Structure formats: structure tokens, C-alpha cells
Amino acid sequence: MLGRMTPAARSEIPGGSERGGQPMLPDYGGACLSNVVPALLHRNHAPVPAWLPAGVAGAEQVVLLVLDGLGFEQLSERRALAPALAGLVGGAITSVAPTTTAAALTSLATGRTPSQHGIVGYRIALGHNVLNVLRWSTPTGDARTRFPPTDFQPIPPFLGEHHPVVSRAEFAQTGFTDAHLAGVRLEGWRVVSSLPVEVGAELAKGESFVYAYYDGIDKVAHEKGLGDHYDAELRAVDHLVEDVLAVLPPGAVLVVTADHGQIEVRTPPIVLDASVVDEVVLFSGEGRFRWLHVEAGRREIVAARCHDLYGDVAWVRTRDEIVAEQWLGPVPTSEIERRLGDVALVAREPVAFFDPSDTGELRLIARHGSLTSAELLIPLLAGTP
């Protein structure tokens, strides 16, 4: 059954928990999203890690169902609404930093950390441009020619093995799909009832591993928050899990995970003080993990100013500190490091930081990106019919 936080997720995470004012950092060496696909693909050829749910080792076929936006804490608080999910075995693992879809799904698919694959956020600075990764666009439009996705992120998915992906049909041949799922055979669905049908068809072909993706929870949370609409969507997702379980043949197992959790931010994004904005030449990242790009030689000055102004609601770190503390994984290449800003404002309270060039964020209610337990902890669950 849906368990408490696993020992690995609780006690072996670098930096510990939020107690003492420190962020909860991803457990890159253990129970982390970036290690899930390698563990599943090696399930019959190597000792399985202790954090992998029971029943996965030795399974003839595995379906990995990714429920975008379903945090472990949010699910645990609503067990009664999701009996199928609650009946699975497993517990919590960590996502990656930042806890945003672009970075997390790329880590899941490639088995690498953000510092290794280079998708270091939702909006990434490339010189004087900012790339919206999910749309693969800059303010001048489609960026697939200017920044080819497979050059920007060249690590192949699924350890270079060829496995089918069941996802929304409209995601086929998008820039972000090319960046994190290059070369896969995508079997698209247009209505959610088709997702289990497509999964069943792939299993019937004898596929040993099927990756399936559903994004409804994340969409509802962004638009409506974590109230009645969220609860209704969780009930619907639980029925989806039941339907996927129903198509599993003997010897197959369903594994369920997510890319990040959520936190409600009911106040407007914080507009940075003029003394900070005047130093900023570019914003990147997301509202709860906001990067400030400043002129050379001004990094420490801006960081100190941000500590004074926002240290009560955010963790303030320079790029060098985040790299040294390995928030995004091992030390990145110089090319990937240049994609980071100079100073990061990482929200620890339910706030976000405004980027005047990304006004779409103003409409979001539930958010993610930061390193609170509500955002970082995600489920890793498994079960059979």
C-alpha cells in the first residue's frame, strides 16, 4: 500500500529537510527521479535498489505511468480519494532541481541530472535570448532551427534502448519531445480513455517497457489550485490507474511516478525592488526558482541585496554556491553552466517572483520549481491487477 516516505528519501537526501531553514535537495545518488528508468531497465540484470517498490524485480514487462504534478504529499493527504493508487506499494522519492516539468521529465527519460543533460529549467538563458523549453520558442518565435533540440540535449532516452511512449498526440514532433524523447516511437492519444488501450496494445506486442504520460493533474492545479477541482481530477486519475492495471497481462507490473509536486501561491508574484531590477539584464527560470542575470562583477552585490530584501521568504544563492552544493547534480560543463543565472531566488514560502517578460505566470495558482518537500517529494509506486 501507499507507504510513508522511504528511508532513502527521508534520511539520505543531501542537505536534509527544510528544518533549520535549509532546502531539501534531490537524492541524486539514490532515491531520485533521475535513477528510476535505469533501475527499471536493469531490473532483471542487476541488484535492484532498496527504494524500488516490491514486485518490480523480475517483472517480464513494466509500464511506467508518469502523472505530471502529482506530489507525494498531496497524494498522501487524499488517500481516500484514490483507492487504486493507495493500494499500490512504495513510497516517496525526490524529483530534481528545479522541480519543473522540463528538467524533471528530461532527467527521468535520460537517467541524468539537470547539470548533466542541460535542461536546467522552464526558461533558459542562451546569450541574450530566453528559451521557453516546453514551447521551444524565444520571443522571436519557434527556436527549433536556431537551437536544434537534439544538439541542445543530445543524451538519448531510455539508455539508448528503443521503447514506445504513449502520450498526447499533439506532443509528437514538438521541440521539447525532440529534446528529451528523441527517436522514440510515440503512440499518441487524443482522449484519456485511449491511454490504457494504447498501453495494452504495446504490451500485447511483447514490449518489455512502456512509458506513458498524463498531464491532467498539473493542468488543473495550475488553473484551479489544490481544492475541489484538484480532488475531482485525482479521482479521475485513480480510475485511469485502474484501467491501466486492467490491461496488464500476467508477469507485468505498473509503476507510477510524477515529475514534481505542487504548492498553492494565492498572492500575486513579488515584483522585485527597483534596486534589484536595475541590476538585472535578464530573467530566466520560473517563479519559484527565479534566476537573475546581472552585469559582470555585480553578482555578490545583488546576492547580498536579495538576502536583505527576500531572505525571509526565499533561499538566495549565487550560481557558484548552487554548483558547489550540487543542487542540479554534479558540476556541469562550462556550456551548461552558462545557461544558469548569477543569483537564484528559490522560494521557501508560498510566493513566486515576477518576471516582466513572462506574464503568463500571473495566471498560475498552484506552482512548483522550488525545493520544499511539497514540490520535491514524488511517489514511486508499483502494483499488479
In a shared domain, residues 360 and 289? yes
* pLDDT for position 46: 79
In a shared domain, residues 287 and 141? no
pLDDT tens for each residue of the chain, 385 residues long: 664 334 333 333 333 445 447 899 999 999 999 999 999 999 988 788 999 999 999 999 999 999 999 999 999 999 999 999 999 999 999 999 999 999 999 999 999 999 999 999 999 999 889 999 999 999 999 999 999 999 999 999 999 999 999 999 999 989 999 999 999 999 999 999 999 999 999 999 999 999 999 999 999 999 999 999 999 999 999 999 999 999 999 999 999 999 999 999 999 999 999 999 999 999 999 999 999 999 999 999 999 999 999 999 999 999 999 999 999 999 999 999 999 999 999 999 999 999 998 867 778 999 999 999 999 999 999 999 9
* pLDDT for position 10: 37
Domain presence at residue 269: no
In a shared domain, residues 215 and 290? no
Q: How far apart are CA 244 and CA 138, in angstroms?
A: 37
Residues 234 and 78: beta-carbon distance below 8 Å: yes
Looking at the 3D structure of the chain, how many domains does it have? 2
The single-letter code of the amino acid at 186 is: L
In a shared domain, residues 306 and 196? no
Please name the helix (run of DSSP H) or strand (run of DSSP E) that holds residue 211, with its range, or none. strand 209-214
Q: How far is CA 295 from the centre of its chain?
A: 30
Q: What CATH number is given to the structural domain containing 376? A: 3.40.720.10
Domain presence at residue 1: no
Domain presence at residue 288: yes
* pLDDT for position 257: 98
In a shared domain, residues 300 and 213? no
In a shared domain, residues 334 and 240? no
Please state the pTM of the whole predicted model: 0.94
Domain presence at residue 61: yes
Q: What CATH number is given to the structural domain containing 332? A: 3.30.1360.180
Domain presence at residue 240: yes
How are beta strands 263-264 and 209-214 bridged, if at all?
A: unpaired
In a shared domain, residues 199 and 326? no
In a shared domain, residues 185 and 118? yes
In a shared domain, residues 361 and 226? no
Please name the helix (run of DSSP H) or strand (run of DSSP E) that holds residue 310, with its range, or none. helix 299-310
Domain presence at residue 2: no
Domain presence at residue 16: yes
* pLDDT for position 2: 61
Beta-ladder partners of 189: 168
Q: Nearest 10 degrees: CA dihedral of 138, 290, 112, 254? A: -90
121, 186, 132: which is closest to 157 by C-alpha? 186
Q: How far apart are CA 105 and CA 258, in angstroms?
A: 9
Residue 60 belongs to what domain range?
Answer: 7-264+371-383
In a shared domain, residues 229 and 326? no
In a shared domain, residues 108 and 15? yes
In a shared domain, residues 155 and 285? no
Domain presence at residue 241: yes
Beta-ladder partners of 212: 65, 166
* pLDDT for position 68: 98
* pLDDT for position 96: 98
